[in-house]
Chain A
Amino acid sequence: MDRALRVVLSTNGTKPEPRTIIFLIDATPSLAKTGFVNELEGALAENAKQLGKALIGIASVGETRLTLSPTNDHRQVVLEMQALLRRGKNSVRNIYGSVRRFSGMLRGQQRRKDMVLVTLENGDAEDDLPGSVAALRASRVRLSVIARESYLADSYWNKRKRYLRNTRSVMVPKDCEMIGGDNAFIDMPWGWLFQVTTINEVIPSGFAAYGLTRLAAATKGVVCLYSPPGAAKHVCAVYGQCLFCEGDHIPNGEAYSSHKLAKLAPKATSRKVVYRDAARSPYHRATTAAWRAAAKAGVLFTTPSLRLAGTTALEDRNRGGRDLEFFRSLALERHARKAEDAADECTKIINRLEGAISKASKQQPPDRHRAMAMLTRFYLYLTRTNLISFAGWCREDALNIVERIYLPDPPEIPIVGDDEKIYSINYTNLCLCHGVQPFFAVRLPGGKDTRRELLALHKVVREFMREYRDTPYAVAVHRAGLARFSMRHGGGPRPRRRPSSKAKKGPLTDGRGRPPRKGGATTGGAASGPTTGK
């Protein structure tokens, strides 16, 4: 935070220059916790000479008036900031509306105008991004941002679109759409079969949310990323399991390299231009084609967010992929056959994608689109391995469990107890954080076929890491996982629910069928036995 403030407060020259700086603060408890006020106090004291002719004001996101009109009294700035952060609350806020409002207030001033937007929680609720850019440009305000890192092609809000429409727990400001992610659109396929973690929602991208980056880039401002202490702590698997460490892994290739990140940066131009560039990129076209084919084959649950049309692209809604229905029944042989068919489909898609990538690499230098294409290739290989392993599991282990054929010797014990019921198929992930090689020692189902797939996957991962180590894409590979299948099982036979009657203690039946009714039928006539409903 200290460094970020020094960057945003510094001037180009050494001489003090007449400036107006507005701190637009998204006051949240998380920002207060960073010690922002202390850091601001320190930064103001350090740059006191340079800020000699500067007037500093404070505005709060969501409010209509300035919290503190521009002043040269730094002490007052610090005190007001302290008071503002003490009032901070967590809520979804429209930052872009506030940017437009307060930049309008600065219009007409002859001094150099700077706005420093500080937001750690928001930025993903977009209303009118082009309008905000236009407002800043019209007022000649340079906007710098201090924000948190966003996730790589974040799909979180897209996945929860329907939930957002129906819930009241997330109050989205009027006219806003929840977007998020470092890019103008979701360019990384998400919702892969047999993956517990949607990697788009867990991989820090190294960039701020697209909307914030766009505002800063359009006004020649800077974006500083804040990372809370402890955020860099490594976790092998977010929701899955790691077989090869005790949570003490020191991964290789996860420290982001700035020069590599710069080459893979998302475009900060307007959405229209980003879409056009994507449509023209052979890599992106290859990824989109593979994405659609994979969705059709049932190995991806989503469809691309852009529809390519000639040399441009249009936004498209997620239509969902085909469901292979592996988790609804215990038809194991059918599942195995379907998995093998899907694996064959994967092979076809991989071949087409690899052809397109090799063709494209002659036309275009490597960029983000290529990284996405390569990542898609990796995921196709991984999914194929999982499908083969699944087919093997259905034919070996699952059958043993369902039929209760295999009686293990100690120290091994049966996976499902004799009195337990099996409901359906389930899976978890064994993360690839330590690479594919350690899995050669692990007994996975599918025998030689799985081993062959593992070898192919190992080769792909090695190639991928050579090119993308120390980037978010390497982390994306590490967080992906081989599937470990299991049976959803539990309990014995479910106890029958007792009717709410006085005779709670006695058994419902005497074990020899239902007791005869007393009092006879309700419609008159002779007493009869129990009715069957027929």
Chain B
Amino acid sequence: MRHVWSILLIVGTAPAQDLFQLVADLDHKDRKKSAAAYRALAKDKPKRALQLLFLQLPKHGFTGQNYGMLLLEKTYTGKVRRKGLGKFAKSDSRFLAACSATILFREGNSKVLPQLVGAMRAQKVSVTERITMVKRVQGITNPEVLAAIRENLTPGVNRRLLTAVLDSMWRTQDSQGIGIVEKLLRHRKTTVSAQGLCAAYLVARGGHVHGPALAKILADAQAISTSIRTYVERIRRPTHVVLDGLTAHVRKTKKILSMRWALDFLRKNHHRNLLPLLRETTLRKNETIARTALAILAQNPEDLPPKDLRKMLASEKPIVALFAAKQLRRRDDLSGFPRALELAKREDKDMDKYRVEAVKVLGGYREDRAVQPLIDLLKNKNASVRSTAVKQLNYVLADLFPYRRFDFSKTGYTATGSAMKRRAGIETIQKWWDDNKD
């Protein structure tokens, strides 16, 4: 009953009831609602919500407590808040105690260190709470806190917790933890993905002896996780062993994102085997993989001498031939035009999915000889091909006749219009071209 009265005293008026609801909503099951409540409180910073937070948070679950602590950390200041946090630091809730003690410790109150370390070392804490606790103390260089963070590195440690601990250790450049991570890497209970993370961390910290272990994990992995990528990217001058591991990964994986990242990384580090690897990848059956490899090949023109491109022009794979034609055109070499034209005109069904690409490549040639084929392509059965053709025709004519202005809609032609209108439009365009081409 006393509680009820105190709440009524604080809240008092109608808007305060909204506040009460907002603080209660911080722990709502629906994440969107809890996030909205947090945003509303963080925006308005109502003073009266402070007392409500101190009253309600111990009853909240993890989500509510986490949002509440964020509010107390970032939104509020003053004596009342400090006092409340002090009480929380001594409370039975380990999560609240750790978060409150962290806030106070960061603000210069070193007396809360025992509570902070005690809460960090407590056993009965969920993994999610522990991860959040570790993330909260990131950057604190106190040896006792660092030791408490390191204690989480036990065999069979949760993968997410391991990531949070290693991130924290990276930030403080904690060198005492390196030995523990090494032990964890070798432990039989450690999962392969955790081993990968440990190995990447160790190599990024300069332990190149772990390079072979990392290379093996990378080579065998189906996909490389974001956290491992982060550490691999942090390696100063990666050795050939690690890069070879990534090469093997590219050969094996079917995951596009992982492959793209690995290829990009190899390119940035000028790996000796990158070029053969990319060429090999362009020939893979999976179209998306081949396209990815081609896109990366295009990023470094020096890797593709015109001689090789001309060879690629003859490839049976339309995607490779079109790529070669486009790359040659980018270098002012127009020898790919006949092949691009041939592919754009080819009527067989296999070519259907490449025709739009072929029309785009054809439109890249700002030459008279590209105009007639593009006009012919306006008659194509496929609306996307027609649409691309009219767009490219506009570009080509505008560039060949820089002192004229064009508007193809004036001819009545639209890619999605009726067949009759299109026919009439094409006739008009054809007539104009016949009159003006010479």
Contacts and interface: CB of A to CB of B under 8 A. Distances in A.
Given A435-B332, A441-B367, A409 B432 contact: yes
B364 A42 contact: no
B403 A412 contact: no
A42 B399 CA distance: 51
Given A244-B399, A430-B402, A443-B400, A411 B429 contact: yes
A74 interface: no
A414 interface: yes
The listed residue with most A CB atoms (<10 A of its CB), out of B327, B331, B402, B406, is B402
The listed residue with most B CB atoms (<10 A of its CB), out of A443, A444, A445, is A443
Contacts of B2: none
Interface in A406-431: 408-415, 430
Nearest to A245: B330
Contacts of A244: 332, 366, 399
A415 B432 contact: no
B403 A445 contact: yes
A252 B332 contact: yes
A415 B404 contact: yes
Interface in B365-396: 366-368, 395
| SS of B interface (majority) | helix
Interface residues of B, number: 29
Given A243-B402, A413-B406, A443-B402, A42 B411 contact: no
B46 interface: no
A65 interface: no
A2 to B, nearest CB: 9
A246 B362 CA distance: 13
A408 B404 contact: yes
A250 interface: yes
A438 interface: yes
Interface string A249-276: 1101000000000000000000000000
Contact of B432 (A243, A410, A485): A410
Given A409-B431, A411-B429, A250 B331 contact: yes
Nearest to B366: A244
B332 A397 contact: no
A439 B49 CA distance: 72
Interface in B398-417: 399-408, 410-411
B323 to A, nearest CB: 12
B338 interface: no
Given A250-B330, A252-B331, A441-B367, A414 B405 contact: yes
B156 interface: no
A137 to B, nearest CB: 38
B402 A413 contact: no
B92 interface: no
Given A442-B402, A443-B401, A445-B403, A410 B330 contact: no
Contacts, number: 77
Contacts of B366: 243-244, 438, 441
B61 interface: no
Interface residues of A, number: 30
Contact of B399 (A243, A408, A409, A414): A243
B301 interface: yes
B428 interface: yes
Interface in A479-497: 484-485
B236 interface: yes
Nearest to B398: A243
A42 B237 CA distance: 11
Contacts of B405: 412-415
Contact of B410 (A411, A415, A445, A485): A411
Contacts of B368: 441
B107 interface: no
Interface string A382-399: 000000000001000100
Nearest to B206: A45
Given A244-B366, A412-B432, A441-B367, A397 B330 contact: no
Given A244-B366, A443-B402, A413 B330 contact: no
Given A245-B364, A441-B368, A250 B404 contact: no
A250 B399 contact: no
Nearest to B332: A434
A175 interface: no
Contacts of B348: none
A412 B332 contact: no
A248 interface: yes
A130 to B, nearest CB: 42
Contacts of A484: 402-403
A443 B407 CA distance: 18
B141 to A, nearest CB: 13
Interface in B32-79: none
B403 A393 contact: yes
A403 to B, nearest CB: 16
A42 B407 contact: no
Contacts of A443: 400-404
A243 B364 CA distance: 10
Given A243-B366, A250-B301, A42 B402 contact: no
Contacts of B397: 411
Contacts of A252: 331-332
A246 to B, nearest CB: 7
Given A244-B366, A246-B364, A411 B399 contact: no
A501 B229 CA distance: 70
A448 B376 CA distance: 31
B435 interface: yes
Given A244-B366, A438-B332, A441-B368, 16 more contacts: A42-B236, A244-B332, A250-B330, A408-B404, A409-B432, A410-B410, A410-B432, A411-B406, A412-B432, A413-B407, A413-B410, A438-B366, A441-B366, A441-B367, A484-B402, A485-B403
Interface of B: 236, 301, 327, 330-332, 364, 366-368, 395, 397, 399-408, 410-411, 428-429, 431-432, 435
26 contacts: A243-B366, A243-B402, A244-B399, A245-B330, A245-B364, A246-B364, A248-B330, A249-B330, A249-B332, A250-B330, A250-B331, A409-B432, A410-B410, A410-B411, A412-B405, A412-B432, A413-B407, A414-B405, A434-B332, A435-B332, A441-B368, A442-B400, A443-B401, A443-B403, A484-B403, A485-B403
Please provide the 9 A-B residue pairs with the shortest distance between their CB atoms, ordered closest to farther: A410-B410, A243-B399, A250-B301, A410-B411, A250-B330, A413-B407, A411-B408, A411-B406, A250-B331
